[in-house]
């Protein structure tokens, strides 16, 4: 499975695709003290928590209108998959992926189980072929059955260069997807790839072949399509996305699992203080919190009776991506006149006091990052230390490399000024504002000019995909099962319109990624990941900052809400009055 950059923080458990907007999935390590305290308090002792999948379906529990501060949404096409939000919408609410992760760590870790598939995939001995058998009770909302032909058509559309699909790079190793009748799907990979069938089952999108335009231009213009999951779209305008629970012919919430919230509305987040007050009043059901809001809420006796708060760790990290290509003409793949020099990138890494920001503005609700795997995961090399905050050393390194003050005081070398523009999301979250502002303030006395430009998510996506930027602050998410960073770091993707925003190309990194693809032994894969982690850290194509904790508030009108190891799950939520009136 792939990773994805995103440009907004906070999440309630939704996964990445290939470009922007949210926080998701989970770090499989022991929770911090703050996380543990919040998680154990999160389930209301008056109600407890029940796995509703183990109880008979109860029609009387269906009801309620859950409003969530999340969005805004542009296209919600599963094929285009322009954001992590959109991918998770289809994974949990609008679609039925072939496989689904268990939301909690078990004896075997996080396990993928059949969901839209009727059984686990059958995989060939060489690992290059897999057969999925679809459930027979999945239908598009117009009544047509979900067919293997839908997956075949989705793959065919995805492969057309003219089709805008953020999933294309994630599944670049897939050679073919073909239907063998309506319920059997055959997948072939170009090369053996560890965990490929699981990754495909968890993340491959599907669109209704009978109800979408046949041409790339029509598909690109499509903002939404039919649902095959438990909800259907009833409103999609401005900053609002409204969903309504579907039913199957027997009158039950749509398979493969019962949901009990009748309506869900996603509203674009506003000012964090206003959103928190709206949760307290019950006008919002769920909203993200800043670190400061979370710590204050835990100490506020007037706040907690109305709202539950939680902090939990996810495999995601905040970073500033440096463009290693010349943004004046990125398709020619000339090096960036400033950032093409690793000395400059290493010096810039010494200008952000990561530990100080984590301990201060982030209230300890984050961990410093050093490379492409989150701290505590098996891929993170614990011997790699974050760059020390040392502006004096940065100044000396730049001077030794030939950067000297120009007439206006800005460092110059060979007629090139050390002047950069860094894009950051326009949201006021301190995870976005603090590192960029401090980087600019610390760099200025050294003769480095950094202009920080608050930018709407769509603008960051466009600039990043086209290579028209110097630096961009993003959040990257990884998968809970077999995190795959190939698309972000392999030279095969060091081009515009790919996941490799940096334009990073390094033969040793390619070799490690290629070996990781085919290595079947778990211990050997861990060793390869750690070598990869160290190699990328040494190359400094990105200024890694921290892996944040997700902090969230939920109004107490919603019962059966639990923080799983992979975050909140919408299928748990039940209107409190109905939960008590019709107990499981």
> Which parts of 46-110 fold into alpha helices (H)?
84-88
For residues 489 and 500, the answer to whether their CB atoms sit within 8 Å is yes
- The Cα–Cα gap between 534 and 536 comes to 6
- The Cα–Cα gap between 520 and 524 comes to 8
Res 496 pLDDT > 90:
no
Confidence bin at 17 (pLDDT 50/70/90): very low
CATH-assigned architecture of domain 80-222: Alpha-Beta Complex (3.90)
pLDDT of residue 498: 77
- pLDDT, tens only, 21-69: 222 222 222 233 333 334 445 677 677 899 999 999 999 999 999 999 9
For residues 228 and 210, the answer to whether their CB atoms sit within 8 Å is no
- Asked whether the CA dihedral 436, 438, 442, 445 is positive or negative, the reply is positive
pLDDT of residue 166: 83
Q: Which residue has the higher pLDDT, 343 or 483?
A: 343
pLDDT of residue 41: 53
Tell me the mean pLDDT in the region 543-561.
92
Tell me the mean pLDDT in the region 91-117.
93
Our measurement of the distance from residue 152's CA atom to the centroid of its chain's CA atoms, rounded to an integer in Å, reads 26
Q: How many CA atoms lie within 13 A of 9 on its CB side?
A: 34
Specify the DSSP element, H or E, that contains 280.
helix 272-281
Res 12 pLDDT > 70:
no
Res 405 pLDDT > 90:
yes
The answer to which of 133-137, 324-328, 391-395, 475-479 has the lowest mean pLDDT is: 475-479
- The Cα–Cα gap between 437 and 318 comes to 15
Confidence bin at 550 (pLDDT 50/70/90): confident
Q: Which two tokens stand for residue 339?
A: 């950032």
- The Cα–Cα gap between 94 and 232 comes to 6
Residues forming a β-bridge with 551: 311
Torsion angle, CA of 163/165/168/170, rounded to 10 degrees? 180
CATH-assigned architecture of domain 316-549: Roll (3.10)
- CA nearest 379: which of 263, 543, 575, 522? 522
Q: Which two tokens stand for residue 437?
A: 């502002």
For residues 511 and 531, the answer to whether their CB atoms sit within 8 Å is no
Q: Which two tokens stand for residue 19?
A: 């470009």
- The Cα–Cα gap between 377 and 28 comes to 7
- CA nearest 16: which of 202, 284, 231, 213? 202
Domains 80-222 and 316-549 share a fold: no
Res 234 pLDDT > 90:
yes
Three-state secondary-structure class, residue 332: helix
| DSSP-assigned letter for residue 247 | B
pLDDT of residue 45: 67
Measure the CA angle with vertex 437, ends 434 and 442; round to 5°: 115
Q: Are strands 99-101 and 122-123 parallel, antiparallel or unpaired?
A: unpaired
Confidence bin at 577 (pLDDT 50/70/90): very high
pLDDT of residue 25: 25
Our measurement of the distance from residue 376's CA atom to the centroid of its chain's CA atoms, rounded to an integer in Å, reads 18
- pLDDT, tens only, 237-284: 888 999 999 998 788 888 899 999 999 999 988 888 899 999 999 999
The residue behind tokens 């117009």 is 142
Confidence bin at 3 (pLDDT 50/70/90): very low
- The Cα–Cα gap between 577 and 399 comes to 67
pLDDT of residue 473: 93
- What is the 3-class SS of 335-384, one letter each residue? ECCCCCCHHHHHHHHCCCCHHHHHHCCCCCCEEECCCCCCCCCCCCCCCC
| DSSP-assigned letter for residue 528 | H
- CA nearest 376: which of 29, 26, 24? 29
The residue behind tokens 């440096």 is 322
pLDDT of residue 39: 44
Phi and psi based region of residue 519 (left: phi greater than 0; alpha: psi -120 to 50; beta: remaining): beta
* Residue 8 CA: distances (Å) to CA of 18, 88, 245, 402, 455: 14, 15, 27, 38, 12
Per-domain boundaries in the chain: 80-222, 316-549
């Amino acid at each position: 499975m792939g990773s994805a950059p995103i440009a907004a923080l906070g999440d309630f458990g939704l996964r990445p695709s290939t470009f922007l907007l949210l926080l998701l999935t989970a770090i499989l390590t022991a929770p911090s003290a703050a996380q543990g305290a919040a998680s154990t308090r999160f389930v209301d002792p008056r109600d407890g928590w029940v796995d509703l999948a183990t109880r008979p379906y109860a029609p009387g529990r269906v009801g309620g209108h859950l409003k969530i501060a999340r969005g805004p949404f542009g296209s919600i096409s599963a094929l285009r998959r322009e954001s992590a939000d959109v991918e998770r919408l289809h994974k949990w609410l609008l679609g039925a992926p072939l496989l689904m992760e268990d939301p909690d760590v078990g004896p075997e870790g996080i396990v993928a189980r059949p969901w839209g598939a009727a059984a686990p995939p059958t995989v060939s001995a060489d690992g290059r072929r897999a057969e999925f058998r679809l459930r027979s009770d999945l239908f598009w909302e117009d009544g047509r059955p979900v067919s293997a032909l839908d997956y075949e058509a989705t793959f065919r559309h995805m492969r057309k260069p003219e089709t805008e699909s953020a999933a294309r790079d994630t599944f670049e190793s897939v050679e073919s997807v073909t239907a063998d009748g309506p319920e059997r799907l055959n997948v072939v990979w170009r090369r053996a790839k560890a965990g490929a069938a699981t990754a495909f089952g968890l993340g491959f999108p599907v669109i209704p072949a009978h109800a979408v335009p046949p041409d790339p231009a029509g598909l690109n213009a499509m903002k939404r399509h039919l649902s095959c999951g438990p909800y259907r779209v009833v409103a999609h305008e401005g900053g609002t996305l409204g969903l309504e629970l579907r039913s199957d012919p027997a009158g039950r919430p749509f398979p493969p699992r019962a949901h009990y919230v009748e309506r869900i509305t996603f509203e674009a987040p506003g000012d964090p203080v206003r959103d928190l007050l709206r949760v307290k009043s019950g006008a919002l059901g769920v909203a993200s919190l800043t670190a400061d809001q979370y710590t204050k809420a835990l100490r506020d006796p007037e706040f907690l009776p109305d709202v539950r708060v939680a902090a939990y760790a996810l495999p995601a990290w905040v970073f500033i991506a440096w463009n290693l290509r010349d943004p004046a003409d990125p398709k020619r793949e000339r090096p960036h006149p400033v950032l093409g020099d690793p000395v400059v990138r290493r010096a810039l890494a010494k200008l952000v006091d990561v530990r100080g920001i984590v301990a201060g503005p982030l209230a300890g609700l984050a961990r410093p990052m050093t490379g492409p795997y989150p701290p505590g995961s098996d891929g993170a090399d614990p011997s790699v230390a974050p760059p020390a905050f040392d502006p004096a050393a940065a100044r000396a390194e730049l001077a030794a490399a030939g950067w000297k003050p120009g007439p206006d005081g800005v460092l110059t070398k060979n007629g090139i000024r050390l002047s950069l523009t860094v894009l950051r999301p326009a949201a006021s979250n301190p995870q976005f504002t603090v590192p960029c502002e401090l980087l600019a303030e610390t760099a200025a006395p050294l003769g480095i000019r950094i202009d920080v430009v608050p930018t709407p998510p769509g603008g960051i996506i466009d600039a990043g995909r086209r290579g028209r930027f110097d630096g961009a602050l993003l959040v990257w998410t990884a998968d809970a099962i077999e995190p795959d960073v190939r698309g972000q770091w392999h030279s095969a993707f060091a081009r515009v319109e790919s996941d490799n925003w940096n334009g990073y190309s390094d033969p040793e990194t390619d070799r490690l990624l290629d070996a990781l693809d085919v290595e079947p032994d778990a211990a050997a894969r861990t060793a390869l990941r750690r070598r990869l982690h160290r190699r990328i850290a040494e190359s400094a194509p990105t200024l890694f900052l921290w892996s944040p904790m997700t902090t969230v508030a939920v109004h107490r009108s919603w019962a059966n809400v639990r923080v799983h190891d992979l975050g909140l799950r919408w299928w748990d939520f039940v209107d409190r009055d109905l939960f008590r009136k019709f107990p499981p």
